[in-house]
Structure 1
Amino acid sequence: MDNKKVEVVILSGFLGSGKSTLLKELISLEKSKGKRIGVLMNELGDISIDSAIIPKETPFKEMLNGCICCTLQGELSLQLRSMLDENELDTILIESTGAAHPLEVLEACTHPMLVSKVNIHCVFTVVNAKQWLENSLSIKLKKLLVDQVKYADIILINKCDQIGKEQLHEVRDTIRSANPQADISTVTFSKFDPALYEDFSLQTKQNTVNEGKKTHVHHHLHLRTVSFSIEKPINRVSFLRWLENFDGQLYRAKGFIYLEETPGLFLFNYAYGMPMFERYSFDKKYEPVLVFIGEELYHDEIKEEIDQL
């Protein structure tokens, strides 16, 4: 098997927005291109209904009784690893529950044991136009809806036939305000123009060529992930000082690293400004690697700064 990474597409959106219909559309589109696809699906309940849409020959795993963003995040990483080990795939489609936060799903997909195997292709978010317009959810759920939009690369305003034209303009304007960078399309039954996905794929490939440089090319992925191997032990104090002074929007950092001061491999985690080093004592060994999640991150620039610590 070659070292080509598997493309991961994350499907986000609140309950009843139309994610499963979108999943069906994406499966059909990818299969029409001859792609080998796998599907991971998460349900809040203990019975999966939507899994009936998955073609029998498609590698499929489901996680029940929990949300990817909390109890099942570790399981998603393990299921993803298992799917990669068991199948030769080009694309994995992940349909998260409506209560999941896209950043948390992305977090599970960028576990240090996975970064050498997968590439986050894009985050699709489906919005129920009427639900967004009425804005009648609790404060906590309203914030979740906005975050599902904020961290998307492609946004489908779905069920737009259920509201008037003026109302649709209002929905589109407020969504654009929440995420100026995303591609936004108005649809019914989650049926989007395939060119939207194809154009995005081409732009993503073009950006990958320039990912190490601060060019004027539009870096399409709103949330960017940067990962690279670490060839030598890192000075802990210098590393923490570098994190404190990081120039950019860094949401998360993690990885396996060796430290100059202490022997042994450490699992490193950094979230909400808090770093944590935990000695890794399991039998399975991992190559030292660092993963960063944020906005406007540049691979070569970050790697050079880490190498100079």
Structure 2
Amino acid sequence: MRKVEVIILSGFLGSGKSTLLKEVIDFEQKNGKRLGVLMNELGDISIDSAVIPMDTPLKEMLNGCICCTLQGELSLQLSQMLEVYELDLILIEATGAAHPLEILEACTHPTLISKVEIRCIVTVINAKQWIENRLSIKLKKLLVEQVRHADVVLVNKVDQVDEDEIPAVTESVKKINTQAEILTVTFAKMNFSILYDRVVKSNEKLNEIEQAHVHHHLHLRTISLSVNQPIDRIAFLQWLEKIEGRLHRVKGFIYLTETPGLYLFNYAYEMPIFERYATEKYEPVLVFIGEELNRGEIEEGLGKLQRII
């Protein structure tokens, strides 16, 4: 029986995994591959799935982390996708709070082991985030683990740091993982043929899985809020900088007061991006991900922004 290949996309919140997913899909489809996508987001509303082409089989796992509460569901969703679709490749984009080896464990469930073959684990890191090293101790540990167990490490967003800082990043990554292919990229653009040269030795890696329950230890919190009115772009960005706690990620769809039309908004590591979105089929909503976030304060602040005309 021919096995379906699986690529696991790992990396912390806002590193560029969804951009990488979009690039891989484009590359594989141009090469005639029939592929499916499994996506996991910590919130109860899917935002990242907007990058997936309409004709691509997609399974979404929301409001949980693959590495804990949804690990069993991942195995089930994989099994169902294999039964329903004729596929050559399945791409798994995990939430930033997931340990890649625990995803690997779910993919190698006894009911799946004869059906799938893990091609590689790709971890994406944000170059600026890595250099400045301002995450909490627990998140730093997770970031290191995501790098340690990767077959390919993409040092992404190198356009946001000084050129002479890049060698230090790659060297520190190399000290953590001497076996990985390390690439410096922008917008997650890479030579995707490299993915065919890397195959995970599943049994070896599974023996390395740690027992730490990453998601619970990190205390990451997600807050999903509807945005019923257009908001002022400048006031919105100023407000984001003042939110208490550690805000790692904001994403969603919003309307702005100064220009008509729906915008896809992404905020990671203090870098905001507004992208005009062609279709308006998505309800305006924002998802906040971070530590020690106060839902009441965020809800109140967002409400005030919607009253500013």
TM norm structure 1: 0.66
Higher relative contact order (CA 8 A, sep 6+): 2
The aligned counterpart of 1:178 is: 176
- How many Å separate the matches in 2 of 1:123 and 1:37? 17
- How many Å separate the matches in 2 of 1:18 and 1:65? 20
Aligned AA (1:139)? I
Out of 200, 203, 214, the residue aligned to residue 225 of structure 1 is 203
The aligned counterpart of 2:71 is: 73
- How many Å separate the matches in 1 of 2:202 and 2:65? 23
The aligned counterpart of 2:110 is: 112
- Aligned residue for 2:208, secondary structure, equals strand
Out of 185, 207, 211, the residue aligned to residue 250 of structure 1 is 207
Aligned AA (1:29)? F
Q: 8 Å contact 2:127–2:155 — kept in the other structure?
A: yes
- How many Å separate the matches in 1 of 2:34 and 2:184? 28
The aligned counterpart of 2:131 is: 133
1:46 aligns with 2:44: yes
- How many Å separate the matches in 2 of 1:129 and 1:155? 11
The aligned counterpart of 1:121 is: 119
Aligned AA (2:135)? L
Query: Percentage identity across aligned positions?
Result: 63
- How many Å separate the matches in 2 of 1:140 and 1:63? 24
- How many Å separate the matches in 1 of 2:165 and 2:103? 31
The aligned counterpart of 1:215 is: none
Query: 1:39-61 CA deviation, whole Å, 9 max, x = no partner?
Result: 00000001111101111111110
Aligned AA (1:250)? N
Q: 8 Å contact 2:105–2:206 — kept in the other structure?
A: no
Deviates more, 1:161-170 or 1:18-27: 161-170
Out of 53, 56, 80, the residue aligned to residue 55 of structure 1 is 53
Query: 1:22-71 CA deviation, whole Å, 9 max, x = no partner?
Result: 00000011101101100000000011111011111111100000010111
| Superposition deviation, residue 187 in structure 1 | 0.3
The aligned counterpart of 1:8 is: 6
Q: 8 Å contact 2:37–2:57 — kept in the other structure?
A: yes
Aligned AA (2:143)? L
- How many Å separate the matches in 1 of 2:179 and 2:188? 20
How many residues are aligned here?
211
RMSD: 1.7
| Superposition deviation, residue 249 in structure 1 | 8.8
- How many Å separate the matches in 2 of 1:40 and 1:169? 34
- How many Å separate the matches in 1 of 2:163 and 2:50? 34
- Aligned residue for 2:45, secondary structure, equals coil
- How many Å separate the matches in 2 of 1:249 and 1:153? 14
1:103 aligns with 2:105: no
The aligned counterpart of 1:167 is: 165
The aligned counterpart of 1:30 is: 28
- How many Å separate the matches in 1 of 2:134 and 2:170? 18
| Superposition deviation, residue 164 in structure 1 | 1.1
TM norm structure 2: 0.66
User: Gapped runs of 5+ residues in structure 1?
Assistant: 205-220, 227-247, 253-270, 273-309
- How many Å separate the matches in 1 of 2:206 and 2:60? 32
| Superposition deviation, residue 84 in structure 1 | 0.6
- How many Å separate the matches in 1 of 2:156 and 2:188? 6
User: Judging changes above 3 Å, is the alpha-carbon distance between structure 1 residues 92 and 249 closer, same or farther for their aligned structure 2 residues?
Assistant: closer
- How many Å separate the matches in 1 of 2:187 and 2:19? 7
Query: 1:148-176 CA deviation, whole Å, 9 max, x = no partner?
Result: 00000011000001111221111110001
Aligned AA (1:224)? S
Aligned AA (1:137)? L
